[in-house]
Chains A and B, each alone.
Chain A
Amino acid sequence: MNNVTTNDSLNTKTTSGKSYARHVQKILKGNYAAAEGAKLARAGFIPAYPITPQTTIVEELSNKVATKELDATYINMDSEHSVFAAAMGAAIAGERVFTATSGQGLFYAHEVLHAIAHFRLPVVICNVGRPSIPWNIWSDQTDSLAQRDTGWVQFYGESSQEVLDSIIQAYIISEELDLPVMVVLDAFYQSHTSENVWVPEQSLVDEFLPPKKLKGGEIDVDHPKAFGGLIAPDKYETFNYRYWVDINKVEDLANKVGEEFGKHFGRKYSAVEAYNITPETKLVLVTISSITSTARGLLPRYPEVGLLKLRLIKPFPKKSVLKALEPLSEDASIVTIERNFLGDKEGALMMEMKRALYGERNIKMYDVYTGLGGKDVPPRTIEKIIVKTLEAPEEISWIDLE
Chain B
Amino acid sequence: MLQANKFLIEEEKVFSGGLSCRGCGWALLVRHLASILGENTVYVVPASCFSIIAGPYPLNEIRGSVVHTVFAAAPATATGIRAALDRKGKKDATVAILAGDGGTFDIGFQSLSGAASRGENLLYVVNNNGAYMNTGIQTSTATPYGAVTTTNPQANFKKTFPKDLMGIIAAHNIPYAATCSLAFIEDYRRKIQKAKETKGFRLLMIDGPCPPGHKTDPAQSISIARLAVETKLFPLFEVEHQKYRINYFPKEKVPVERCLEKQGRFRHLFQDESRQALNEIQDYVDSYWEKLLKLEKLSFEE
Interface residues of A (CB under 8 A from B): 44-45, 47, 73, 75-79, 81-95, 97, 111-112, 115, 219-221, 224-232, 235
Question: Which residue of B40, B70, B86 has the most chain A CB atoms within 10 A of its CB atom?
Answer: B70
- What are 23 inter-chain pairs, A to B, with CB distance below 8 A? A45-B80, A75-B83, A77-B114, A79-B110, A79-B111, A81-B76, A82-B73, A85-B74, A85-B77, A86-B83, A88-B77, A92-B84, A219-B67, A224-B39, A224-B62, A225-B66, A226-B65, A226-B67, A227-B66, A227-B67, A229-B57, A230-B56, A230-B68
| B74 contacts across to A, CB distance below 8 A | 85
Contact with A along B65-93 (1 / 0, CB 8 A): 11111101111111111111111101001
The answer for the CA separation of A81 and B70 in the assembled complex, in Å, is 10
Q: Which of A83, A87, A219, A232 has the most CB of B within 10 A?
A: A219
B51 within 8 Å of A (CB atoms): yes
- Give the residues in chain B near A220, CB-CB below 8 Å: 65
Q: Which residues of B contact A115 (CB under 8 A)?
A: 69-70
Task: Please name all residues of chain B whose beta carbon is closer than 8 Å to the beta carbon of A224 when the two chains form the complex.
Answer: 39, 60, 62-66
Query: Assuming A88-B69, A224-B39, A226-B60, what are 10 further A-B pairs, CB within 8 angstroms?
Result: A82-B73, A82-B79, A82-B110, A85-B69, A86-B76, A219-B81, A221-B40, A226-B66, A229-B55, A229-B57
Which residue, of B40, B41, B72, has the highest number of chain A Cβ atoms within 10 A? B72
- Chain B residue nearest in CB terms to A89: B80
Whether A93 lies near B85 (C-beta < 8 A) is yes
B118 in the interface (beta carbon within 8 A): yes
Chain A residues near B17 (CB-CB < 8 A): none
User: What are the residues of chain A within 8 A of B63 when measuring CB–CB?
Assistant: 224
**Residues of chain B contacted by A235 (CB below 8 angstroms):** 57
On whether the beta carbons of A90 and B80 are closer than 8 Å, the reply is yes
| Residues in chain B within 8 A of chain A (CB atoms) | 39-42, 44, 51-52, 54-60, 62-70, 72-88, 90, 93, 110-111, 113-114, 117-118
User: In this complex, what residue of A is CB-closest to B55?
Assistant: A229
Chain A residues whose C-beta falls within 8 Å of the C-beta of B76 in the assembled complex? 47, 77-78, 81-83, 85-86, 89
Q: What's the Cα separation between A370 and B117 when bound, in Å?
A: 44
Complex Cα–Cα for A77 and B69 (A):
17
Docked CA distance A97–B87 (Å): 12
In the bound assembly, the distance between CA atoms of A161 and B81 in angstroms comes to: 32
Q: How far is the CB of A90 from chain B (nearest CB, A)?
A: 4
Q: A94-B88, A219-B67 are known contacts. Are A226 and B59 too (CB-CB below 8 A)?
A: yes
CB of B148 to closest CB in A, whole Å: 29
Bound Cα distance A391, B74 (Å):
57
> From residue B34, how far is it (CB to closest CB) to chain A in Å?
11
Contact, CB under 8 Å: B83 / A226: no
Q: Which residue of B lies closest to A228 (CB)?
A: B68
Give chain B residues whose Cβ lies under 8 Å from the Cβ of A79. 110-111, 114
Chain A hits for B40, CB < 8 A: 221
Q: Which residue of A lies closest to B74 (CB)?
A: A85
CB distance from B142 to the nearest CB of A (A): 21
Q: Which residues of B contact A85 (CB under 8 A)?
A: 69-70, 72-74, 76-77, 79-80, 111
> How far apart sit A47 and B87, CA to CA, in the bound complex (Å)?
14
A111 in contact with B70 (CB, 8 Å): yes
Nearest first, the 3 A-B pairs at minimum CB distance are: A89-B80, A78-B114, A93-B84
Rounded to whole angstroms, the CA-CA distance of A144 and B57 in the bound complex is 32
Taking CB atoms, residues of chain B closer than 8 Å to A112 are: 70, 73
Residue of B nearest to A214 (CB): B88
Among B44, B56, B74, B80, which residue has the most Cβ atoms of chain A within 10 A? B80
- Find out whether the CB atom of A228 lies under 8 angstroms from the CB atom of B69: yes
Looking across the interface, which residue of chain A has its beta carbon closest to that of B77? A89
> Quick one: closest A residue to B52, CB to CB?
A230
Chain A nearest Cβ from B65, distance in angstroms: 4
Given known pairs A78-B110, A88-B69, A219-B65, the reply for A94 and B56 (CB within 8 Å) is no
CA distance A86 to B75 in the complex (A): 8
Which among A47, A229, A232 is the interface contact of B80 at CB below 8 angstroms? A47
Measured CA separation A221–B55 after assembly (Å): 19
Is A95 touching B87 in the complex (CB atoms < 8 A)? yes
Given known pairs A89-B44, A90-B83, A94-B88, the reply for A225 and B65 (CB within 8 Å) is yes
Known contacts A85-B77, A229-B60; A219/B111 CB under 8 A: no
Determine whether the beta carbon of B66 is less than 8 Å from that of A89.
Answer: no
Q: Which of B39, B42, B114, B117 contacts A219 (CB 8 A)?
A: B42
How many Å from the CB of A97 to the closest CB on chain B?
8
Closest to B60 in A: A226
Could you say which residues of chain A place their CB within 8 Å of the CB of B65?
A: 219-221, 224-227
Tell me the nearest residue of chain A to B56, going by C-beta.
A230
Whole-angstrom distance from the CB of B35 to the nearest CB of chain A?
A: 15
